[in-house]
């Protein structure tokens, strides 16, 4: 049996390797069929490009001629929805057609494409290339291509501008105090948002393109000198190893580069907020921004990051520390409460306080299902309600949750199908599971896992499950960083930002587990204190 499994999976691996190799070979074959470079003739060039992208609805090919004396014919190729018509009209066509006519007497030699680039175009980003693939790629990402007769090179003029969502408040991470802006689907906007937070020449944003068909731009942002160079090397290696045809969202990247693909815990963090991305970059992490996705990945991820929130650092430490503890408690409740209830009511009734046992026994009297079935059933019902609430339009979603929670819960109890305590436990679990949004999915799986263990082995089962969970967590690594740090392995100074949040002036060093060599974040003795009396008197 085992042998068969291994054989099977080896076969699958071979299969996928072959497919990859074939993918690698395919583009090179295409290269051989089509000439890679432009020729001298405008017409053949146009035909070439038309052959690649020509018969598309949104491709605009504008043929024109300039320079009254020589009548140089040229054409502009661009995608109508992805470019800014004002730039094309005002900064490309107008100088070429209109101003060249005016100045034609004095400057006759316009056949040199370099001349056009340097003297005629009032656009910021212009580059030239003869490679047809490169030209098509840049056209597809919003550049305008200028082809001139008798030139074997084309100009790629950056005119990209398309409708995108404006910067607004992120839906997934609401904060009480702190900046309201969130990343958008536009990569350039996102890098701008980051730059605006960190105005430092060391902030490096490197770009690569992933996805053989989608050609998605992916940026790696980090601070040179803070991020471990080995980490950056590793990220680049893993990104370059992604040989897939499409990257539509940062989630694709996450699943291709994570350390433990079989784990239910995510080892790559994501955020929608520029301020928390900047904070993580400033701790020595790297951020991966993906075009088309407002979710930025940050690497490496620690488990405690799920319990941190950007609000924590903007508010004063006491209440924040309390809330941190509440988050850990809520997560513990969300994964353990139903299991504990099942274990207590079916195995360890002696641990329930007597008065409570009376009311629980009274409520459970006449309920037809065992507690395990009740807990599993209610858990599934809750997940159904949640999913329905998420997918439906908001007003309908609210109606669903009211119908589900109130009507089903209430009538199930009055009909005697389930005990009222179980409804309370499931409701508490449901509410608690929303407290730590980053771990909602792992929590959902763990909850079922623990309920099953508790149903069969009671408290001992829960203990076994907990130990197993801890073994798994302790063995996880995210890009070389132990997932449970700073707790295990213990790093005492990093504990200042874990279960509690120490005052900002006390957090002198960056996290040791992530940081590399420049650990000092700030000076000592930053603790604010009122001026000494002598000073005020002297003033």
Would you tell me which residues interact with another protein (CB under 8 A)? Answer: 2, 5-6, 9, 261-262, 345-351, 353-354, 357-367, 370-371, 452-453, 455-461, 463-464, 467-468, 470-471, 474-475, 482, 484, 487-490
- Determine the length of the chain: 539
Phi-psi region of 264 (alpha: psi -120 to 50; beta: other; left: phi over 0): alpha
State the minimum distance, in angstroms, from the CB of residue 509 to another protein. Answer: 18
State the minimum distance, in angstroms, from the CB of residue 499 to another protein. Answer: 12
Q: Which is nearer to another protein, 245 or 365 (CB)?
A: 365
Q: Which is nearer to another protein, 262 or 524 (CB)?
A: 262
What CA–CA distances, in Å, run from 247 to 237, 242, 277, 286? 17, 10, 21, 19
- Measure the CA–CA gap between 209 and 139, rounded to whole angstroms: 15
Backbone CA torsion sign across 305, 308, 309, 311? negative
Q: Which is nearer to another protein, 78 or 341 (CB)?
A: 341
Cβ count near 450 (within 10 Å): 24
The H or E element containing residue 18 is helix 2-33
State the minimum distance, in angstroms, from the CB of residue 34 to another protein. Answer: 40
State the minimum distance, in angstroms, from the CB of residue 468 to another protein. Answer: 6
Q: Which is nearer to another protein, 153 or 259 (CB)?
A: 259
Alpha helices in 166-261, H assignment, sequence order: 187-197, 229-240, 250-257
Q: Which is nearer to another protein, 179 or 459 (CB)?
A: 459
State the minimum distance, in angstroms, from the CB of residue 354 to another protein. Answer: 5
What is the number of alpha carbons within 13 Å of residue 363 lying toward its C-beta? 17
- Measure the CA–CA gap between 179 and 176, rounded to whole angstroms: 9
Q: Which is nearer to another protein, 107 or 362 (CB)?
A: 362
Secondary structure of 59-128 in HEC code, one letter for each residue: EEEEEEEECCCCCEEEEEEEECCCECHHHHHHHHHHHHHHHHHHCCCCCCCCCCHHHHHHHHCCCCCEEE
Residues with Cβ within 8 Å of residue 492, at least 6 apart in sequence? 486
Short-list 264, 259, 298, 255, CA closest to 280 = 298
State the minimum distance, in angstroms, from the CB of residue 300 to another protein. Answer: 16
Q: Which is nearer to another protein, 104 or 491 (CB)?
A: 491
State the minimum distance, in angstroms, from the CB of residue 261 to another protein. Answer: 7
Q: Which is nearer to another protein, 2 or 532 (CB)?
A: 2
State the minimum distance, in angstroms, from the CB of residue 343 to another protein. Answer: 10
- Measure the CA–CA gap between 430 and 423, rounded to whole angstroms: 10
State the minimum distance, in angstroms, from the CB of residue 288 to another protein. Answer: 23
Strand, helix or coil at 205?
strand
Q: Which is nearer to another protein, 59 or 469 (CB)?
A: 469
| Contact (CB, 8 A) for 292 and 281 | no
């Amino acid at each position: 049996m085992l042998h068969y499994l291994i054989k099977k999976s080896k076969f699958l691996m071979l299969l996928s390797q072959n497919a990859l190799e074939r993918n690698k070979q395919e583009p090179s074959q295409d290269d051989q069929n089509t000439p890679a470079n432009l020729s001298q003739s405008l017409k053949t060039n146009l035909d070439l490009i038309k052959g690649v992208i020509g018969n598309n609805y949104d491709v605009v090919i504008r043929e024109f001629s300039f320079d009254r004396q020589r009548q140089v014919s040229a054409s502009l190729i661009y995608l109508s929805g992805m470019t800014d018509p004002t730039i094309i009209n005002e900064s490309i066509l107008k100088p070429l057609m209109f101003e060249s006519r005016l100045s034609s007497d004095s400057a006759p030699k316009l056949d040199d494409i370099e001349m056009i680039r340097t003297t005629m175009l009032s656009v910021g980003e212009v580059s030239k290339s003869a490679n047809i693939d490169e030209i098509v790629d840049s056209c597809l990402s919003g550049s305008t291509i200028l082809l001139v007769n008798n030139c074997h090179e084309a100009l790629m003029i950056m005119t990209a501008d398309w409708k995108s969502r404006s910067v607004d408040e992120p839906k997934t991470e609401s904060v009480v105090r702190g900046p309201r802006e969130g990343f958008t689907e536009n990569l350039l906007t996102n890098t701008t948002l980051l730059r605006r937070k960190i105005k430092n020449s060391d902030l490096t944003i490197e770009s690569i393109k992933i996805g053989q068909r989608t050609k998605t731009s992916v940026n790696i942002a980090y601070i040179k000198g803070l991020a471990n160079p080995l980490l950056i090397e590793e990220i680049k290696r893993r990104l370059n190893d992604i040989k897939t045809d499409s990257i539509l969202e940062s989630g694709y990247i996450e699943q291709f580069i994570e350390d433990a693909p079989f784990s239910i815990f995510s080892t790559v963090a994501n955020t929608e907020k520029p301020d928390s991305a900047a904070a993580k970059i400033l701790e020595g992490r790297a951020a991966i921004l993906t075009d088309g996705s407002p979710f930025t990945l940050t690497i490496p991820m620690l488990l405690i990051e799920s319990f941190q929130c950007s609000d924590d650092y903007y508010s004063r430490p006491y209440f924040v520390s309390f809330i941190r503890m509440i988050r850990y408690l809520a997560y513990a409740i969300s994964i353990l409460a139903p299991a504990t209830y099942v274990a207590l009511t079916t195995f360890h009734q002696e641990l329930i306080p007597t008065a409570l046992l009376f009311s629980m026994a009274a409520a459970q009297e006449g309920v037809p299902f065992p507690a395990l079935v009740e807990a599993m059933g209610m858990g599934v019902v809750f997940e159904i309600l949640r999913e329905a609430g998420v997918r439906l339009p908001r007003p309908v979603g609210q109606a669903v949750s009211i119908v589900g929670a109130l009507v089903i819960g209430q009538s199930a109890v009055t009909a005697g199908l389930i005990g009222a305590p179980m409804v309370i436990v499931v409701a508490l679990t449901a509410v608690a599971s929303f407290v730590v949004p980053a771990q909602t999915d792992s929590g959902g799986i763990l909850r079922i896992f623990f309920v099953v263990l508790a149903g069969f082995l009671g408290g001992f089962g829960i203990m076994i499950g907990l130990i197993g969970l801890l073994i798994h967590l302790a063995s996880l690594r995210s890009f070389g960083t132990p997932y449970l740090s700073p707790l295990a392995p213990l790093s005492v100074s990093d504990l200042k930002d874990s279960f509690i949040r120490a005052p900002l002036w006390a957090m002198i060093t960056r996290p040791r587990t992530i940081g590399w060599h420049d650990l000092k974040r700030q000076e000592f003795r930053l603790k604010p204190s009122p001026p000494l009396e002598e000073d005020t008197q002297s003033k």
